[in-house]
């Protein structure tokens, strides 16, 4: 009460002073009052103008996030000093200073079916050529008429130069784009510091006890850890068959009478904590992920080429059927009028017309098809059914983590299921999803009529050791399945490039990690019974932003390539 009275008294004092000042102004002559008001207006406008020009902080560093999380005293002066000291060093590769040129075997005019060769020379901001490799580059070739594009293969020579090769699969005028995605320093930092780091994946775990009359919930933070045993007051969840030595660790419920560790029901990602962990991890290296060092176009080099008709003496070798163990070609393929032409194996446009849809139907008749992964796998689940002439509609019983369809006309069952420990903003219940290993081991029908697509590529927040072990356990489960069922078809989908749209994705440098994951997956599944479906170039080459959820054209062509792997005995279904 005393505080209220004191505040009220102060308020009355302020009002009294305002009345005195108002009375003073009203006693002035009219001209003097006008001058005073004019001066006040001038001061106000000046203040607004200076405020608009003043630098204001954004969430680019640990200090910004600490302010948002109330973790420490925010000091704008300290932040400005840090930003000035974290500018890019002058010796890292600079896109505006780098150049590219034709190799001695290529020029401004090439023929359809040729290999176009370029050389990139990486230079620093002063124009001095770098003497080591390690930078990450994108190279694309695009035409408007016809609508065509392809991605170039970039080979690091280790001396500051890079060889780029394109397969030219069409005629017309094409534009060359060379992009510095990340300099070597960022790639090295991500590989050595970011990828091995734990605690980059954080979930909010929900405990729900069925015995509770109102089914009340309790939430705690969950993370993945390895090679530790003393967790104190934590809940430990072991999945040795599925993810090896990696543990899921969650905070233990405080009310033990209501909830126990066995009551963990669902997980969803805790994005704010993930971003905080990202900012702490890169503290002192923020400059590597500034806009000036990400996705910068190299301007100094030939911009266009002319593609003429194919030379008569050229012989195009027949591509092998799509199957496991195929060697990666110098170019994965090219786009022409929204169709992907693979140069690795024979892919077909299964949904192009009624005849092709019928061929696909014969291949898939009586099959059980499984799509396991994130939302990109769900998109393929939907497009897969469209490709064989079956319309997909949402139903009331669909959950975001599980879709099931049965098509009696083909006796075809199709299931999409999210995997446990998925990074998603929606809750995924444990009881309704399976690890990839568990699903593969559960397929024991003597008909062996299985087709499986696995899509584990998007777990960039997993540390390298945990992700590698999980892939190897997945490979072992695939081998067990194909021993039981030699006719089963398993395809493992690789990653596609994803542009940086958030602070977290930029600081975790997703494209560096995704490219590393692509190489790791290709190596692990190279000599397995599964087919590794490499869609990196398909996504990179298509003329649209590289979002996590790709355009329908890319999704449909990816599904066509998937079906070319699982229906590779094409003649068997058309005789």
Q: How many CB atoms lie within 10 A of CB 35?
A: 12
Lowest mean pLDDT, pick from 51-65, 81-95, 292-306, 437-451: 51-65
List of residues 6+ apart from 87 with CB closer than 8 A: 287
DSSP state of 87: P
Q: Is residue 235 part of a domain?
A: yes
**Torsion angle (degrees, nearest 10) of CA 428, 434, 435, 440:** -160
CA distances from 445 to 404, 410, 440 (A): 18, 18, 11
What distance in Å separates the CA atoms of residue 414 and residue 555, rounded to the nearest whole number? 17
219, 250, 272 — which closes off a domain?
Answer: 272
Token readout for 344 is 């690795």
Q: How many CB atoms lie within 10 A of CB 491?
A: 22
Q: Are the CB atoms for 304 and 175 separated by under 8 Å?
A: yes
Q: Are the CB atoms for 42 and 34 separated by under 8 Å?
A: no
What pLDDT digit, counting tens, does each position of 24-50 carry?
444 556 666 666 677 777 766 666 555
By CB atoms closer than 10 A (0-12, 13-18, 19+), residue 489 is: buried
Q: Is 445 left (phi over 0), alpha (psi -120 to 50) or beta?
A: beta
Q: Number of structural domains, the chain? A: 3
**In this structure, are strands 246-251 and 234-238 parallel, antiparallel, or unpaired?**
antiparallel
Residue 146 preceded by cis peptide, ω within 30: yes
E strands, 422-522, in order: 428-429, 450-454, 489-493
Q: What is the pTM of this model?
A: 0.81
Identify whether residues 535 and 394 lie together within a single domain: yes
Identify whether residues 333 and 447 lie together within a single domain: yes
Identify whether residues 372 and 224 lie together within a single domain: no
Identify whether residues 243 and 359 lie together within a single domain: no
Identify whether residues 265 and 329 lie together within a single domain: no
What distance in Å separates the CA atoms of residue 306 and residue 113, rounded to the nearest whole number? 13
Q: Are the CB atoms for 139 and 167 separated by under 8 Å?
A: no
Identify whether residues 459 and 344 lie together within a single domain: yes
Identify whether residues 397 and 509 lie together within a single domain: yes
CA 220, 223, 226, 227 dihedral sign is negative
Token readout for 52 is 């608009």
pLDDT band for position 477 (50/70/90)?
very high
pLDDT band for position 265 (50/70/90)?
very high
Q: Is residue 465 part of a domain?
A: yes
Q: Is residue 410 part of a domain?
A: yes
3-state secondary structure 281-346: HCCCCHHHHCHHHCCEECCECCCEEEEECCCCCCCCCCCCECCCCCCCCCCCEEEECCEEEECCCE
Identify whether residues 267 and 316 lie together within a single domain: no
Mean pLDDT, the chain, integer: 84
Selected residue with higher pLDDT from 4 and 324: 324
What pLDDT digit, counting tens, does each position of 344-386 carry?
999 998 876 777 777 888 899 999 999 999 999 999 999 998 8
CA 484-485-491 angle, to 5 degrees, is 120
What distance in Å separates the CA atoms of residue 567 and residue 483, rounded to the nearest whole number? 19
Token readout for 100 is 């590219």
37, 53, 69 — which closes off a domain?
Answer: 53
Token readout for 496 is 């596609």
Q: Are the CB atoms for 303 and 175 separated by under 8 Å?
A: yes
Share of the chain above pLDDT 90, in %: 61
CA distances from 409 to 230, 362, 369 (A): 56, 11, 15
Q: Is residue 97 part of a domain?
A: no
Q: Is residue 131 part of a domain?
A: no
What pLDDT digit, counting tens, does each position of 111-147 carry?
999 999 999 999 999 999 999 999 999 999 999 999 9
* pLDDT at residue 10 in the model: 36
What distance in Å separates the CA atoms of residue 300 and residue 140, rounded to the nearest whole number? 15
Q: Are the CB atoms for 383 and 389 separated by under 8 Å?
A: no
pLDDT band for position 416 (50/70/90)?
very high
Q: Is residue 387 part of a domain?
A: yes
272, 302, 323 — which closes off a domain?
Answer: 272
* pLDDT at residue 393 in the model: 82
Q: Is residue 530 part of a domain?
A: yes
List of residues 6+ apart from 498 with CB closer than 8 A: 505, 510, 511, 514, 546, 547, 548
Parent domain of 532: 311-574
In this predicted structure, the answer to whether residue 459 has a pLDDT above a threshold of 80 is: yes
Q: Is residue 537 part of a domain?
A: yes
Selected residue with higher pLDDT from 256 and 137: 137
Number of alpha carbons in the 13 Å side-chain half-sphere of residue 17: 5
What distance in Å separates the CA atoms of residue 55 and residue 52, rounded to the nearest whole number? 8
Burial 170-200 (b: 16+ CB within 10 A, else e): bbbebebebebbbbbbbbebbbeebbebbeb
Identify whether residues 261 and 317 lie together within a single domain: no
Identify whether residues 265 and 335 lie together within a single domain: no
Identify whether residues 237 and 357 lie together within a single domain: no
Identify whether residues 227 and 324 lie together within a single domain: no
Lowest mean pLDDT, pick from 271-275, 326-330, 404-408: 271-275
End-to-end CA distance of the chain: 94
| Residue linked to tokens 């992964």 | 373
Residues pairing with 218 in the sheet: 207
């Amino acid at each position: 009460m005393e505080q209220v009275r004191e505040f009220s008294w102060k308020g009355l004092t302020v009002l009294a002073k305002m009345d005195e000042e108002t009375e003073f102004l009203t006693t002035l002559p009219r001209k003097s009052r006008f001058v005073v008001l004019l001066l006040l207006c001038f001061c106000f406008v000046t203040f607004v103008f200076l405020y608009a020009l003043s630098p204001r902080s954004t969430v680019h560093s640990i200090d910004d996030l600490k302010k948002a999380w109330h973790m420490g005293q925010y000091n704008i002066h300290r932040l400005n000093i840090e930003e000035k000291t974290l500018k890019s060093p002058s010796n890292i590769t600079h896109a505006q200073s780098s150049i590219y040129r034709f190799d001695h075997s290529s020029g401004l005019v090439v023929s359809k079916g040729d290999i176009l060769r370029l050389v990139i020379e990486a230079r620093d901001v002063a124009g001095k050529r770098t003497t080591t490799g390690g930078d990450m580059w994108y190279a694309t070739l695009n035409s408007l008429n016809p609508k065509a594009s392809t991605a170039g293969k970039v080979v690091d020579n280790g001396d500051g130069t890079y060889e780029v090769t394109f397969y030219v699969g069409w005629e017309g005028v094409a534009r060359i784009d060379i992009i510095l995605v990340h300099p070597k320093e960022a790639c090295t930092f991500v590989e050595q510091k970011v990828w091995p780091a734990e605690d980059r994946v954080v979930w909010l775990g929900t405990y729900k006890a069925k015995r509770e009359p109102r089914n009340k919930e309790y939430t705690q933070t969950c993370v993945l850890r390895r090679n530790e045993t003393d967790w104190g007051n934590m809940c430990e969840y072991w999945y040795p068959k599925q993810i090896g030595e990696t543990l899921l660790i969650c905070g233990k419920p405080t009310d033990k009478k209501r909830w126990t560790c066995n009551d963990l029901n669902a997980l969803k990602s805790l994005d704010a904590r993930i971003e905080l962990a990202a900012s702490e991890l890169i503290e002192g290296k923020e400059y590597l992920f500034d806009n000036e060092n990400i996705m910068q176009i190299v301007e100094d080099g030939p911009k266009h080429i002319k593609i003429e008709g194919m030379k008569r003496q050229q012989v195009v070798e027949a591509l092998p059927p799509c199957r496991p163990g195929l060697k990666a070609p110098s170019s994965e393929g090219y786009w022409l009028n929204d169709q992907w032409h693979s140069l690795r194996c024979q892919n077909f446009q299964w949904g192009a017309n009624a005849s092709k849809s019928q061929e696909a139907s014969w291949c898939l008749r009586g099959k059980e098809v499984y799509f396991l992964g994130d939302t990109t796998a769900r998109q393929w689940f939907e497009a897969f059914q469209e490709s064989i002439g079956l319309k997909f509609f949402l139903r009331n019983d669909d959950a975001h983590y599980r879709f099931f369809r049965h098509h009696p006309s083909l006796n075809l069952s199709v299931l999409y299921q999210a995997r446990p420990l998925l990074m998603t903003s929606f809750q995924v219940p444990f009881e309704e999803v399976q690890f990839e290993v568990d699903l593969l081991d559960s397929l024991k029908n003597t008909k062996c009529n299985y087709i499986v697509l696995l899509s584990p590529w998007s777990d960039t927040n997993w540390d390298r050791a945990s992700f590698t072990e999980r892939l190897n356990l997945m490979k072992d489960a695939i081998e067990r399945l194909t021993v039981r069922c030699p006719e089963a078809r398993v395809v493992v989908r690789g990653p596609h490039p994803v542009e940086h749209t958030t602070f977290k994705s930029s600081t975790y440098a997703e494209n560096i990690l995704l490219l590393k994951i692509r190489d790791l997956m290709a190596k692990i599944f190279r000599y397995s019974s599964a087919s590794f479906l490499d869609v990196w170039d398909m996504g990179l080459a298509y003329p649209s932003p590289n979002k996590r959820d790709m355009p329908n054209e890319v999704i449909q062509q990816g599904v066509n390539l998937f079906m070319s792997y699982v229906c590779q005995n094409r003649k068997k279904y058309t005789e």
